[in-house]
């Protein structure tokens, strides 16, 4: 993998996290970050724009028949009913690790379309986080509740076949890359060492895996060649 792609991969951690996946402690506690959400207003979007952005996560053949969820004042609500078992939505910052300074950054938007198994076994964790964030819980409290919920079996761990598409050009996944990173397919598997997938063994490996200790799963990201609209991803096709 080229050095520029290496830089992009270094940023992947953030991207994955905001896409309901990786919770990895990359950065030390930033005391200047607010401990709770001040107001929901900065996180809300125009409803139609949010529906369109959510759908841009996957190719039309998947997204057009998917359920679409948008963020409202009391949490996520269904904006469009679906037919194919997939659910598309725009993730917000509170899925980041609790120590990340961007934990309450309203600019962060991670469009994602989740397969039916991921809707059943992964989405509930993110929805619970959202509920707690809106209820004014701190980042520490959110994490505690999630850990406890999984330990008690009230929250699920990933089912086989839990996969998601993150192929939107419109995302803003973190403050470092200020954009969508690369189009990629991401799937969730029960905890497995990333090295056992080849991740972190070298820069020439075309996937990136992260262990999410809190959620007890591992995400595997495989960059793909095209964005959801069919245009080529320059970094995957050798151009810039």
Partner 1 sequence: MRHPIEQEELMAYLDGELSADQATQALSHLELCPECQTLATDFRRVSHDLMTWEVEASEVGVPSEINAALNERLQKRESVKVSWPKNRVMKNRWVWVGALAIVCVAVGLTFLLTSRNRREDRSTTYPSMASIAQYLMPDRNAEIALARTAAPQSVSNDAKVLILEWRGYETAVEGKNGFVCMVERSWMSPFNSGQFWNPKVRVPQCFNPAAARTILPLIIKRTGMVLAGLSKAQMIDGIKAAYENQELPPPEPGAMCYMMSRAGYLNDALGHYVPHLMFYFPLTDKSSWGADLPDSPVTLNPQFQGGPEPITEFVIAVGKWSDGTPAPAM
Judged by beta carbon, residue 101 or residue 198, the one nearer partner 1 is 198
**Residue 139 and residue 105: Cα distance in Å, rounded?**
13
The site for partner 1, by CB under 8 A, has a size of: 47
Q: Which helix (H) or strand (E) holds 2?
A: none
Judged by beta carbon, residue 115 or residue 139, the one nearer partner 1 is 115
Structure tokens at 95: 């899925």
Residues 82-101 that bind partner 1 (CB under 8 A): 84-86
Judged by beta carbon, residue 28 or residue 202, the one nearer partner 1 is 202
Decide if residue 163 touches partner 1 (CB under 8 A). yes
CB of 168 to partner 1, least distance (A): 13
**Residue 36 and residue 139: Cα distance in Å, rounded?**
7
Judged by beta carbon, residue 136 or residue 160, the one nearer partner 1 is 160
Q: Which of 61, 95, 131, 133 is in the footprint of partner 1 by CB under 8 A?
A: 61
SS3 at position 196: helix
CB of 113 to partner 1, least distance (A): 8
Q: Which residue has 């995400």 as its token pair?
A: 219
Decide if residue 224 touches partner 1 (CB under 8 A). yes
SS3 at position 185: strand
- State the CB neighbour count (10 A cutoff) for residue 115: 24
Structure tokens at 122: 């992964």
Residues 165-204 that bind partner 1 (CB under 8 A): 165, 167, 183, 185, 187, 189-190, 192, 195-198, 201-204
**Residue 145 and residue 157: Cα distance in Å, rounded?**
15
Give the interface segment with partner 1, choosing from 6-14, 93-101, 123-131, 229-237 (CB under 8 A). 229-237
CB of 197 to partner 1, least distance (A): 6
**Crossing angle for the helix pair 123-134 and 139-151, to the nearest 10 degrees:** 140
CB 80 within 8 A of CB 68: yes
Decide if residue 161 touches partner 1 (CB under 8 A). yes
Beta pairing partners, 69:
78
Q: Which residue has 């992947």 as its token pair?
A: 12
Q: Which residue has 């948008």 as its token pair?
A: 70
Q: Which of 29, 30, 60, 78 is in the footprint of partner 1 by CB under 8 A?
A: 60
CB of 231 to partner 1, least distance (A): 11
**Residue 238 and residue 21: Cα distance in Å, rounded?**
27
Judged by beta carbon, residue 153 or residue 202, the one nearer partner 1 is 202
Residue numbers at the binding site for partner 1 (CB under 8 A): 1, 58-62, 84-86, 113, 115-117, 160-161, 163, 165, 167, 183, 185, 187, 189-190, 192, 195-198, 201-207, 218, 220, 222-226, 228, 230, 236-238
């Amino acid at each position: 993998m080229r050095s520029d792609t290496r830089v992009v991969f270094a940023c992947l951690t953030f991207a994955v996290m905001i896409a309901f996946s990786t919770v990895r402690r990359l950065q030390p506690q930033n005391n200047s970050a607010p401990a709770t959400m001040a107001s929901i207003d900065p996180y809300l979007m125009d409803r139609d724009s949010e529906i369109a952005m959510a759908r841009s996560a996957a190719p039309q053949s998947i997204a057009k028949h998917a359920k679409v969820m948008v963020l409202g004042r009391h949490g996520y609500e269904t904006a469009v009913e679906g037919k194919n078992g997939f659910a598309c939505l725009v993730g917000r910052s509170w899925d980041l690790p609790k120590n990340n300074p961007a934990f309450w950054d309203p600019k962060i938007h991670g469009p994602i379309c989740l397969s039916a198994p991921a809707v059943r076994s992964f989405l509930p964790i993110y929805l619970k986080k959202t509920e707690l964030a809106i209820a004014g819980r701190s980042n520490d409290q959110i994490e505690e509740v999630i850990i406890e919920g999984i330990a008690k079996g009230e929250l699920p761990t990933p089912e086989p076949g839990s996969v998601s598409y993150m192929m939107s050009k419109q995302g803003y996944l973190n403050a470092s890359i200020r954009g969508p990173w690369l189009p990629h397919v991401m799937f969730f598997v029960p905890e497995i060492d990333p090295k056992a997938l080849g991740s972190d063994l070298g820069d020439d490996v075309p996937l990136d895996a992260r262990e999410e200790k809190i959620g007890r799963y591992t995400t595997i990201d495989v960059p793909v060649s095209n964005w959801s609209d069919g245009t080529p991803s320059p970094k995957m096709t050798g151009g810039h």
